[in-house]
Structure 1
């Protein structure tokens, strides 16, 4: 009888641990009745054929944007730490925590899909890969990055650094530039081959949002 109770207790603990584990690894979908929340819900349900530019813009207009927590940078550092330790479950936990804060994070989608690839989860690898490149293409197809007038349109500064890292470019200097009706980040970089390049990111929405936040 005691053995039976002990086995039952162990089984119950195992069930609770599995349930808790699943909850810890779930991306939290915002429950606001706005465009951003609906986009996140659709993407998590596998509906990936969306307007990714509109999705990125919707985050700026969402209530979720105002809830972007101070631990966001800590979570990014945690991702690097878990990668170094080859703790793949830790990478998944941290990247999903980031996506629960900002689902437009290409950084989180990149490391999440790469981890699923390592673990042999082809379905999730493809899902988050396609979201990552949907977001990325919505930026690089918005211009050519060669001048402020034709700069790549960004909504957050971290998008600029993500694109530069994907290009294998090391930032040398950053300054503000103007062209036409655009305010741009002018990024002077060194490529992997040692060549020097200058890229422009049209950051009108970034500066608009910063001004809006300062007025609050």
Structure 2
């Protein structure tokens, strides 16, 4: 059974101004993974993955919407694909859940060296720095990076139907997006169906429902 460590944590995410600019306008329902794969792997392309990673690490605000889309959805065609049970990720989530923020930051930043565009980890690192050291330069950087990636997800779906599902790279990001929207999907019924590029997860409870398309390779669970 697929799960996420963050999904089981009874924790309130403080939705402050970091998320206030989400417009929820949909400008790109069709994510052409074949085209993205070609662009991010072509060293002569303006969307070459290492170029995008460099800009994201040092100035995420310099990225255009199209660049962010290639960065986020091109991840599966890059070298930044650690396994699901990565030890730094596990140590990060454990320490964050226990309130050991200093250790959580250490392990979270080690994990980012392998997976620098993980919005789940970036968001919780931003929260850890907000509580521990708001004057640290990484606090502002992680805030911008998290916001950049989350905006991309929000602009490429609305989660209302299978056809307009939020398109994410991992199960953990499902729970992150749902939390931001104020939905505790741990209490929802989940149904899943396999598609060509991943899995459609639908969560429903009464008249409420939310859908995600997870572009996650089965290799991540081996």
Q: Measure, in 1, the Cα distance between the counterparts of 2:85 and 2:49.
A: 17
Work out whether residues 148 and 177 of structure 1, in 8 Å CA contact, stay in contact via their aligned partners in 2: no
Judging by fraction of residues, say which structure has more helix: 1
Q: For structure 1, list consecutive stretches of 5 or more residues without a partner in the other structure.
A: 1-32, 190-194
Q: Measure, in 1, the Cα distance between the counterparts of 2:106 and 2:137.
A: 18
Give the aligned partner of residue 166 of structure 2.
152
Query: Which deviations, in whole Å up to 9, do the C-alpha atoms of 1:156-211 show, x marking residues without a partner?
Result: 222111111222322222112589x995210125xxxxx751001123x33xx33x
How far is 1:151 from its partner?
Answer: 1.1
Q: Does 1:78 align with 2:114?
A: no
What are the within-5 Å matches in structure 2 for residues 102-121 of structure 1? Answer: 102-118=115-131, 119-121=133-135
Q: Measure, in 2, the Cα distance between the counterparts of 1:58 and 1:158.
A: 18
Q: Does 1:175 align with 2:175?
A: no
Q: Determine helix, strand or coil for the equivalent of 2:74.
A: helix
Work out whether residues 184 and 201 of structure 1, in 8 Å CA contact, stay in contact via their aligned partners in 2: yes
Work out whether residues 105 and 128 of structure 2, in 8 Å CA contact, stay in contact via their aligned partners in 1: yes
Aligned residues: 169
Q: What RMSD, in angstroms, separates the aligned Cα atoms of the two structures?
A: 3.3
Work out whether residues 55 and 62 of structure 2, in 8 Å CA contact, stay in contact via their aligned partners in 1: no
Q: Measure, in 2, the Cα distance between the counterparts of 1:92 and 1:146.
A: 34
How far is 1:67 from its partner?
Answer: 5.9
Work out whether residues 60 and 148 of structure 2, in 8 Å CA contact, stay in contact via their aligned partners in 1: no
Q: Measure, in 2, the Cα distance between the counterparts of 1:96 and 1:183.
A: 29
| Greater Rg by CA | 1
Q: For structure 2, list consecutive stretches of 5 or more residues without a partner in the other structure.
A: 1-41
Correspondent of 2:68 among 49, 52, 55: 52
TM-score for both structures, normalised by structure 1: 0.64
Work out whether residues 79 and 95 of structure 1, in 8 Å CA contact, stay in contact via their aligned partners in 2: no
Give the aligned partner of residue 97 of structure 1.
110
What are the within-5 Å matches in structure 2 for residues 126-165 of structure 1? Answer: 126-165=140-179
Change in 2 beyond 3 A, CA 1:120/1:151:
closer
Q: Determine helix, strand or coil for the equivalent of 1:139.
A: helix
Work out whether residues 91 and 104 of structure 2, in 8 Å CA contact, stay in contact via their aligned partners in 1: no
